[in-house]
Structure 1
């Protein structure tokens, strides 16, 4: 996706030794809180806190640009802060020198969205095409996946018994081995997580990969999916929390619960995902909400 630049200009606000939050607003997927206070020397301490989780869920990896804060009555020269925002609720601070006990101020920002690069996944036909290294064909929904029997037999999954690849097993002599009760796309997704090359999960494939990993007891695929959710994913916290609960990922569950503030905890309580949670996790969320009150 292409980058876009988001521009905003605030209205005038008075900042003094008694002021705190000057503005809270949301625009184009960014929510911010602008704070300011004058210290005993007449200097102003400004803080901006940005929550851009909505943009992160759409694949935005970071925001870059600048913030300019100005005085409407020219009590200080406009100050510009170059910013690079990479974390949720990241704070930007700026101290402006002055000699007054109150100021009329405003700010504007120009922030450019940057999307994480997406590696293009080879097609299943390319990954599982015939080659000199492949000596076995797995047939799923009438489609063929060419694989190396020796390598497949050593991989850490239990789609079929190890004896299937033994020379003494009847089907061990077959050129083609049928795999039933699974779709071709789902099976190829599971297999490509570690063979013939590792294709890493994406936000579009991670839930299906977890489902397949549980069904076929593929622990390595589950670990790969969990790593993606912990470190890469932009999936909304409510959905991620449900997956952590559904597929038993305690580290991810703890991280999702830590992210909840009062508003998000209440929103989670009203969400579709909340109804799907286990009673144990619902209880944890209730205690979390009580701690926040």
Structure 2
């Protein structure tokens, strides 16, 4: 797993109000048992003041906890972006030991990174107006990566003569995410950013961004195969499509694909390839 993942295991702790406090890689967690009216809860409160300089704005992941009298783990989804938030689960009051473990991934706030990326410099010669903000960019660099921007900056278009060019129907965060995949300080795709990146790269005709996404999906993704098949077909990721069809090696997998909502969205060309593959396994 990534070095950024933060893991902690409390070990077994006697059931008491103050169950424990720990700090792991800069993430502090206070674990308590609390009574609210006639109900009892386990609560976790996270804080990360020392990590703010690393642009960490929160954490996602899961907590697993268990009573010593029960062999089953209970999973709690975690998505905290504010240090006043409390992760909480209702429990039955029991005089037994309890333990928990968490696996959490930092949420990186990219706003400052994007702000730095779009600062005025002697390398930038054009301003994009996006979401009410001005982004300083290099028109030759964007034109090289994108037919959309090449056309936009062309002298044949009035925008090509303008000092400030407005881009509509897109947010500052979206443009920052897209450009960060092709700028020198590259931010590589992950499963969470893949759908938006593909949508943006397709709209602004940036094949290099799609190539970055395809590499991630070929090597690191946990997205299900049916969705990967659709993405590969929709956005022309031929290597990924070839891999997905190659892995379609059982009748059960073929039936699962056929039953998925993504199958109906596939092109006729891809469906024909799937049929050819299925004919080799029946």
Q: TM-score range by the shorter chain?
A: 0.5 to 0.7
Residue aligning to 1:223: 211
Instruction: Give yes or no for contact 1:121–1:199 (8 Å, CA) kept in 2.
Output: no
1:239 deviates by 0.5
Q: Secondary structure at the match of 2:149?
A: coil
Q: Secondary structure at the match of 1:220?
A: helix
> Is 2:191 the counterpart of 1:203?
yes
Answer yes or no: is the 8 Å Cα contact 2:139–2:153 preserved in 1. no
Which structure has more relative contact order (CA 8 Å, sep 6+)? It is 1
Paired residue for 1:87?
A: none
- Whole-Å separation in 1 of the counterparts to 2:205 and 2:133: 23
Structure 1 Cα separation of the partners of residues 107 and 170 of structure 2: 26
Secondary structure at the residue paired with 2:257?
helix
Unpaired stretches in structure 1, ≥5 consecutive residues? 6-57, 60-111
Residues 163 and 184 (structure 1 numbering): CA distance in 2 closer, same or farther, change over 3 Å? Answer: closer
Deviation at 1:173, TM superposition (A): 6.8
The yes-or-no answer on 1:213 pairing with 2:195 is no
Query: How far does the alpha carbon of each residue in 1:35-58 deviate from its partner, in whole angstroms, 9 at most, with x for none?
Result: xxxxxxxxxxxxxxxxxxxxxxx9
Aligned counterpart, 1:128? 118
**Which position in structure 2 is the counterpart of 1:263?**
252
Structure-2 residue corresponding to 1:193:
181
Residue of structure 2 equivalent to 1:245: 233
Q: RMSD of aligned C-alpha atoms?
A: 3.6
Please state whether the residue corresponding to 1:284 is helix, strand or coil. Answer: helix
SS in 2 for 1:145: strand
C-alpha displacement of 1:122: 3.6
Number of paired residues? Answer: 186
Change (3 A) 1:217 1:263: same
Q: Classify the secondary structure of the residue corresponding to 1:190.
A: helix
Comparing 233-242 and 184-193, the one that deviates more:
184-193
Aligned counterparts, 1:50-65, within 5 A: none
Residues of 2 paired with 1:192 and 1:137: CA distance? 17
Mapped contact 2:152–2:159 kept (Cα < 8 A): no
In the TM superposition, residue 277 of structure 1 has moved relative to its aligned partner by: 0.9
TM-score in terms of structure 2 length: 0.54
SS for the counterpart of 2:263 is helix
Give yes or no for contact 2:123–2:138 (8 Å, CA) kept in 1.
Answer: yes
Q: What is the aligned partner in structure 1 of residue 274 from structure 2?
A: 285
Label 1:226 to 1:163 Cα distance change in 2 as closer, same or farther (>3 A): closer
CA distance in 1, matches of 2:157, 2:230: 42
Q: 8 Å contact 1:127–1:196 — kept in the other structure? A: no
Q: Is the 8 Å Cα contact of residues 226 and 252 (structure 1) preserved in structure 2? A: yes
Q: Which runs of 4+ in 1 moved over 6 A?
A: 112-115
Aligned in 2, Cα 1:284/1:173: closer, same or farther, shift over 3 Å? closer
- Are residues 165 and 195 of structure 1, via their aligned partners in 2, closer, same or farther at CA, if it must alter by over 3 Å? farther
* Segment of structure 1 superposing worse, 129-138 or 237-246: 129-138
Aligned pair in 2 of structure 1 residues 269, 223: CA closer, same or farther (>3 Å)?
same
| Aligned-partner Cα distance in 2 for 1:137–1:281 | 41
User: 1:161: Cα distance to partner?
Assistant: 3.7
CA shift at 1:276, angstroms? Answer: 0.8
1:88-167 pair list within 5 angstroms:
120=108, 122-123=110-111, 124-131=114-121, 133-149=123-139, 151-152=141-142, 155-161=144-150, 164=153
Taking the aligned partners of 1:204 and 1:187, their CA distance within structure 2 comes to 16
1:272 match: 261
